[in-house]
Amino acid sequence: MPKIEVELNCDLNDRLTNFVIRSRGSLYVQRSDVIVEAVKEYLDRHERQARRAHG
């Protein structure tokens, strides 16, 4: 599976960490799963918008 390297600012990193802990529990802190879901949801929404805008 391809990997993507990104740099997060401190605020975004803290928000991500807190979200993962709240949604998955402190024992299961697997950020990559949450990020993959977020990217998929973002693309699902925005690909549709792009298709509509560009016919």
Give the model's pLDDT for residue 29: 60
pLDDT digits (tens, 9 = 90+) for 1-55: 898 898 999 999 889 888 888 887 776 667 788 888 888 989 998 998 888 888 6
Give the model's pLDDT for residue 16: 86
Predicted TM-score (pTM) above 0.75: no
DSSP output for 1-55: ---------HHHHHHHHHHHHHHH-TT---HHHHHHHHHHHHHHHHHHHHHHHT-
Give the model's pLDDT for residue 30: 75
Give the model's pLDDT for residue 55: 67
